[in-house]
Homo-oligomer: A and B are copies of this chain.
Amino acid sequence: MTRQISVNSRTYQWPSAPTIIVCVDGCEQEYINQAILADKAPFLASLQWIGTVLAGDCVVPSFTNPNNLSIVTGAPPSVHGICGNFFFDKETQAEVLMNDVQYLRAPTILAEMARAGGRVAVVTAKDKLRSLLGHRLEGICFSAEKADQVTRGQHGIEQVVERVGMPVPSVYSAELSEFVFAAGLSILREERPDLMYLSTTDYVQHKHAPGTPEANAFYAMMDGYLQRLHDEGAVLALTADHGMNAKTDAIGRPNVVYLQDRLDAKFGAQCARVILPITDPYVVHHGALGSFATVYLRDGDDDARQREVMAFITAIGGVEAVLTRAQASERFELPPDRIGELVVLGERLTAIGSAAANHDLSGLTVPLRSHGGLSEQKVPLIFNRKLAGIDDTRRLRNFDVIDLALNHLA
């Protein structure tokens, strides 16, 4: 009998070889394309011949947490519940951080595979993702950011820094992601996990455009590690949580619609509350500015008021679309209880802010690059094996990556 597991209504074949899912944070496809053109990524270039190169759609909002959780649950946020870093609790009138496992509504494929007897490992760049990704996981799970604090009891591994031979990097660095790959390679060689999930940080992508020397250097580093993981016999599956685009004018100044200020000026203070679910404790490199916002209206507001607010926001230059909660929940498969009455998407080159006074842009030492909207939805789906049996008409998602890697090897 074929060994398999079922998680969130999908069935996964047991890995036939160590299988490594790599989520490259902010990997707009053009980064890979340009690195290949600059001869910096020979291994990735070879995958069109020896492997499979596809593209898929990530979850909107095109943010890190919703997409990482979708990838490891194989399901959209309507199933797993994590649709951003924040939602607004109208009862307590408080903005609630969604980084805690109490908000996760679905089991992960990682935890279920471990529960079925598989060896599972997770390495993230930043620690903020570790607890969500490691929920109920019996296995290895730690972050590069806190790699010097791992214990076997809590993280399933010890002495990582010594094993990797790299000091713990700054949380704002390319090296934080390099540490993830170096640790992954060590774990592949020593522990030989059945399934491993590696998740990088988009520090480089927020700062540097595709094809620039810094971006190419980052992808060259990654290409080298992917080659070594491949040489160790692993099945590799690479995708991204979201893409990345400039959000500036021709001279590098940010294009920002400060939506809370606009709504306050039009309808009065506290008539509507703008929540930016990109906001988190690490916003230095993007100033909490992305292309997705959700708006909470007052409880007494009727449909006419909602339509009035929608029409006002729709007419603002740089706004791509405004959806009602019902429309956004259906189109983007979001949990309706964790978004506001409206969802606002910025155009490719425009970020949505709340009130200007709430954004500290002093950390933006280079022109703003960010994500969150529809323009960052297309991401790579790249494998070091030939795949088979994929329906041509199927709309691929980044959260199909484990299904493709386990169920569709040729």
The distance in angstroms between the C-alpha atoms of A317 and B57, with both chains bound, is 11
- Would you call A19 an interface residue if the criterion is a C-beta within 8 Å of the partner chain's C-beta atoms? no
- Would you call A32 an interface residue if the criterion is a C-beta within 8 Å of the partner chain's C-beta atoms? yes
Stretch from A40-48, A59-67, A177-185, A283-291 at the B interface: A40-48
Contact present for A36 and B209 (CB under 8 Å): no
Which residue from chain B places its CB closest to the CB of A375 in the assembled complex?
B348
Which residue from chain B places its CB closest to the CB of A31 in the assembled complex?
B250
Query: When each residue 8-32 of chain A gets 1 if its CB lies under 8 Å from chain B and 0 otherwise, what string results?
Result: 0000000000000000000001101
Residues in B with CB closer than 8 Å to A382 are 250-251
The distance in angstroms between the C-alpha atoms of A33 and B368, with both chains bound, is 11
Best-buried of A36, A246, A250, A253 by chain B (most CB within 10 Å) = A250
Contact of A251 among B44, B209, B212, B349 (CB under 8 A): B44
Determine the interface band of chain A, counting residues with CB < 8 A from chain B.
35 or more
The distance in angstroms between the C-alpha atoms of A375 and B378, with both chains bound, is 14
Contact of A32 among B48, B211, B250, B317 (CB under 8 A): B250
Contact of A33 among B44, B211, B252 (CB under 8 A): B252
Known: A251-B47, A317-B395. A246 touches B212 (CB 8 A): no
Contact of A209 among B30, B367, B375 (CB under 8 A): B30
The distance in angstroms between the C-alpha atoms of A38 and B252, with both chains bound, is 12
Which residue from chain B places its CB closest to the CB of A46 in the assembled complex?
B251
Shortest CB-to-CB span from A239 to chain B, Å, is 10
Shortest CB-to-CB span from A104 to chain B, Å, is 30
Contact present for A378 and B366 (CB under 8 Å): no
Shortest CB-to-CB span from A361 to chain B, Å, is 16
Contact present for B349 and A252 (CB under 8 Å): no
Contact present for A37 and B349 (CB under 8 Å): no
Which parts of A241-274 form the interface with B (CB within 8 Å)? 246, 248-253, 255
Contact of A252 among B36, B55, B246, B375 (CB under 8 A): B36
Q: List 24 A-B contacts (CB under 8 A).
A: A29-B249, A29-B250, A29-B349, A30-B209, A30-B250, A33-B248, A33-B251, A33-B367, A34-B209, A37-B252, A37-B367, A38-B212, A44-B250, A45-B251, A53-B253, A54-B249, A209-B210, A210-B211, A211-B211, A250-B380, A250-B382, A317-B395, A348-B375, A375-B375
Known: A33-B367, A348-B378. 18 other contacts (CB 8 A): A29-B246, A29-B248, A29-B249, A29-B250, A29-B349, A33-B249, A33-B250, A33-B251, A33-B252, A37-B366, A38-B212, A44-B251, A45-B251, A55-B249, A211-B211, A317-B395, A347-B378, A348-B375
The 7 A-B residue pairs with the shortest CB-CB distance, nearest first, are A29-B250, A250-B380, A32-B250, A211-B212, A53-B251, A209-B211, A33-B252
